[in-house]
Structures are given as structure tokens and as C-alpha cells.
Amino acid sequence: MKERSVDRATQEMLQRAKSERLETAWDRWELQQPQCGFGQLGLCCRICNMGPCRIDPFGRGPQRGVCGADADTFTARHLGRMIAAGTAAHSDHGRDVAHTLLMAAEGKGGYQIKDPQKLRRVAAEFGIGPDTQSDAEIAKSLAEKILAEFGQQEGELTFTHRAPKARQELWRKLGIMPRGIDREVVEMMHRTTMGVDTDYYNIILHGLRTALADGWGGSMISTELQDILFGTPTPLRARVNLGVLKKDEVNVVVHGHEPILSEMLVAASRDSELQQLARQKGAKGINLAGICCTANEILMRHGIPIAGNFLQQELALATGAVDAMIVDVQCIMPALSSLAQCFHTKLIATSPKAKFPNTEFIEFREERALEVAKEIIRRAIENFPNRDPRRVQIPNESMDLIAGFTSESVFRFLGGRYRATYRPLNDAIIDGRLRGAVGIVGCNNPNTPHDWGHIELTKELLKNDVLIVASGCSAIADAKGGFLRPEAAFEYAGPGLREICEAVGIPPVLHVGACVDNSRILITLAEIVSEGGLGEDFSKLPVAGSAPEWMSEKAVAIGFYFVASGALVHFNTPFPTLGSPRMHKLLTEDLEKIVGGKFLFEPDPRKAARAILAHLDRKRAELKLREPMYTPVYA
């Protein structure tokens, strides 16, 4: 099982799955081999009914579809639609949060405003004041203005004004400043339908704009409004991996993305009547744990343990110990419904947007949020007596972690206990104790050993004095690997980074939240630029991003908004664009001349680390910074 995952809990459960003939994503991945070569290269087009068409990659067969579209158009249109889908996912999440803020302002649904200071700060950016208004009044105006940005037809998304001036100017000059969130997604769908935009460069340019509407729009709206509603996270301790499931408690696993649901489940799981009901049913308590990004959300704000990342969703069920798994939207494998039926586990879907065949559905409505959450927890408790203890196998694997860093909190730490400033961070980069900073984010994918890409890349960068910020399933991988403990600085960090972690008592990998919270990385970069001494734009900074095990269209949108913001972004496997050499060159070379950022595709995390370090050094040299204080160490 070592070739499937580097995580011991996962290996143990895969062994169980094998002996009990429970099918997992890894098995299905193997059954799909060899995967369709046309699809991998992006040389298949299904956009209209004259097709499906394909282009022969060896130049012996057709080189154009029936309409005349060539490989450049095929690949660009497909990639453009991936960006649109990823942007739509993050942004629809943001829309739901904005709607919840509106409900909170109107006193419906039991939601409150937990961070009124942040409410006022963000409202001011939208021109809402004066401060004499009540929180509810301000929240109402803010929610309405933000909801309007989804359908805005002209103008600029407000949060884009957080980017450095030079960057905003560049976006305007290139015509890629996002106008309205929905508008950019719709326009991408329009441009890529049959017979509209066939110029691959023009399509990708709009791809950049669509992605910017995600990073500086939908995702940032999700993050900021969630902080306002549920509280801005501060560092806290928790535990991670399948070992957080408990033999003697009701295990409720929440999986998906939107904290509107999971926050209420946290409240419901603490309800004293329900606790008592659990005891009546023979359990010692109610144990709430999370999978994927909704897990990151409630981890960051409440210290709720994480059962696992994307590829562990089926394995959590395979423990036989989950009494209910509650899902909302995104990254939920359809396979869960049949797997749950092999155990007593109740799989409960909650979003009208995401129903699953043969699966119980309890509609979650913000108006009745707490009521619905309690009902869900009650179902889980009532299912506890159906658990067969002989079929329970929980791996004895879990790890300590610290999470809850934000652009507001973390660098305050680096600024010392009493003064909030990015100066010490900038100085550490300038004097070479830190070589740079890298965001490692994104998914798992059975096409690469589970967690291996995240962990190896992290290790290589840490020993070379690179500070890591992590989110999504990558942060969970690193947490399981032990990198989110302060002690990890002694075990893995180079001398410069170790010195900093030791002085402020932080781990060398900072967990900044769910995937929508990659927007926190954008905000942090903006703070670094405005602190001064490292150039006037993002593209000058010795920073990079990486998604070393990507699978989701959301990862593509994220990659594009970081590139559009001027960063080097590494992905392990290439986009389905290799069938067009011109597209590949645009993505990996030419984009840098246009927006200052570009993609790097490299499946080997150690080689990727070298390339990223070389990039950081190049940026340092361009800024005429000192050589890094400590010599590089390579594997």
C-alpha cells in the first residue's frame, strides 16, 4: 500500500479495503488505465454536436475538428471552461455566505456577527459608514453591496483594490480587471461555445480575468464574510487523521465546503440535550470530525479535529465507526453512497445543489439552521446502536497540529507580541534568513502517492529556509506529517527559518485555512508589498505557489489567479493542454512576460523544489537582495 499513500492510517485502511473487497478511488483509477490519451492531451472536443472531434497528436490524422478548430483552440477552450467551473464553485460558496450575512443582519437563522471590527473594516472598503450605524445596519448594506458584485456588469470588483497599484494598472492595461463575478464566468462559457472565440491567447486572457474574479472576488468574499460571521481564526491546537474517530462516541463526520452548515453542526453537537441522548444510547459523547475544506473551516475556528483529506473520505467510512457523514457541496465522491451501504453509516446530503442517488436528504436552510443541524445530529445518535463493534477498525494514528493563521494574526506574531507589523517578515527576507515564502495548496489525486507530493515538497523547501503557508488538503497532508507542530522547526527547518520559528513559537508550516482562504495568501502578499523594501508589485517578490497533487477544476482557477497576480505556480501534472505546443509555451513561458507569473509542471517534488528555489533566488537577485544566509541543501 506504500505506493498508494505515504500516510500510515491510509495504508492500514487500504489494506482493510482490499481484504474486505471495498472499492476505493485507487482501485477505480487503476481500472481506468490507460486513461484516454486524447483527453489527457486536450485533443478531444465535445463542444458541439458536429463532434465529438479529435485531433491526431502524431500529425497523421485530422488536425482540425469539423468546424475547423485546431489544437490551440481545443485546449484553450477546455482549459477556459475549467477555470470558469472552478471560479463558479468558489464564488457560489461566497454567494451563500453573503446571503447568510444578510440573514444574520435581519436576525434570521440564529447566525451572529462574531467579528464586528472586521465587519467595519471591510464595510469601509465598500464605502459603507459612518461608524454610528449599528452592526446589523452595516452588515445589511455590506451583504447587499457584495451580492450586487456577483451580477455587476461594469466597473471593478472592490477587493481588487487591495492589490498593489502597479498590479491594478497592469490588469487595466491588459483588459483583465474583473468586472462582475458571474459576468466573467458567463462570458467564458459564451466565448468557448461553438464559433465564438477561437484565438487561444484571447481565451486565456479572459481565463486570467475569470480567475481574478475568483481570487479577488468569490473566494475573498467567502473568507472575509466567514470571518465576520463566524469569527476571524486565531492559532489553536487540534489533532488530525483517522485516529481522531472514537470507538465509544457517536462519530459525526462533516465533509464538503461551506461552514454555514458545519458551524451549526458544531453548535448542535455541543447541545446538552443531544449529549444526553447520546449517553442514553450508550455512547460516551458526540465526536464531530471533518474531511476536506469544511473540516479546515471548523478546525480553524473551533479546533474540531480533522479525520482526513480528500482521498481519505472513503477510508473514514471504511473504519465502520462513522455513524453519520454529512455532506454539502464539492469534492464529495459519488462512490460514498454505495460504500456507506456496506456499513451502518448514514450518508446525509444537505444541499439542493448536490443530491446523491440512494442517499438520505435533509435540506439545510439558513432560516432554520440550528434546527436542521440538531435534527442531523439526532439521526447520527439514533444510528449509534446500529454500529457493529466487530466491524470497527480505527487506525491508531493521529497527530498534533497548530492551525488558525490569517493575514491578520500570523505576521503579528512575526512582528513581535505587541506590534502588528510585517516589518520583521520583510526584514527576514531582505537579510536572507528567509529565502522566500511558498504557498503549498490543493488536493490529492490517486495518480500520485497520496500526500507524498505535499510532504516531499514541504521538506525540501523547509530545509532551505523557505516559510510555507498551506491550505486545503495540502495543509491536512502536512498536518498529518507533523509539520504543523512548532517542534517541526527543529526537525525540518534550515537554520534561518528555525531561528524565526523558535523566536516566535510558530510552526514552519502555517495553516491558513480552506481553499477559499488562499485569498488570505493574496492579502498577505499585498501586506508584504505595502510594508516596503521588496519592490512595488507581487511579481518582484521571492514567492511561489504549488499544487503538487491537484485534481479539481478549482485548483486550476486558483493557479490562474496566482499567475495573474504575478506568481510562479507549480502543478505536478500538466493541464490537459500538451496537445498544443503553443498553449504549453504560453502557459510555461510567455505568460511571464505578460503578467509576471507562469506555470511550472513537474511531477517529481524534489525537482520541483529545486526549480522553485532557483526562482526565489532569481527574484532575490533582481531585487539586489543579499545572498541567502545559509547555503542550499538538496536531496
- Which residues are near ligand NFS by CB under 6 A? 292-293, 310, 331, 442-443, 472-473, 515, 552, 554-555
Closest Cα partner for 122 from 142, 147, 137?
A: 142
Q: How far is CA 589 from the centre of its chain?
A: 25
Phi-psi region of 404 (alpha: psi -120 to 50; beta: other; left: phi over 0): left
**69 or 443: whose CB is closer to ligand NFS?**
443
User: Quick one: 312 or 539, whose CB is closer to ligand NFS?
Assistant: 312
Taking the complex as a whole, how short is the minimal distance between the CB of residue 309 and ligand NFS, in angstroms?
A: 6
Task: Find all residues with CB under 8 Å of 621, minimum gap 6, and list them.
Answer: none
The angle, 0 to 180 degrees and rounded to 10, between the axes of the packed helices 292-302 and 472-480 is: 70
Q: Give φ, ψ of 118 to 5 degrees.
A: -65, -35
Q: How far is the CB of 515 from ligand NFS (least distance, A)?
A: 3
At 77, which amino acid appears? R
Buried b (16+ CB within 10 A) or exposed e, 568-606: bbbbbbbbbbbbbebbbebbeeebbebbbbbbbbbeebe
Of residues 105 and 557, the one with the C-beta less far from ligand NFS: 557
Smallest distance, ligand NFS to C-beta of residue 552, A: 4
In the complex with ligand NFS, which residue's Cβ is closer, 171 or 550?
Answer: 550
- Residue closer to ligand NFS by CB (options 340, 557) is 557
- Closer residue to ligand NFS, CB minimum distance, 330 or 383: 330
- CB of residue 578 vs ligand NFS: minimum separation in angstroms? 22
Three cell numbers, residue 433:
534568513
**What nine digits make up the cell of 529?**
508589498
Query: Least distance (Å) from ligand NFS to the CB of residue 304?
Result: 16
What's the closest the beta carbon of residue 401 comes to ligand NFS, in angstroms? 17
CA–CA dist 446, 425 (Å, integer)? 37
> Which residue, 434 or 473, is less far from ligand NFS as judged by CB?
473
Q: In this structure, what C-alpha cell is assigned to residue 279?
A: 449517553
- Which residues are within 8 A (CB) of 472 and not within 5 positions of it... i.e. 6 or more apart? 292, 293, 296, 441, 442, 443, 514, 515, 518
Residues 6+ apart with CB under 8 A from 121: none
Q: Minimum Å distance from CB 332 to ligand NFS?
A: 9
Cell matching residue 406: 490569517
Residue 220 or 381: the one with the smaller Cβ distance to ligand NFS is: 220
Q: Closest separation between CB of residue 443 and ligand NFS, Å?
A: 3
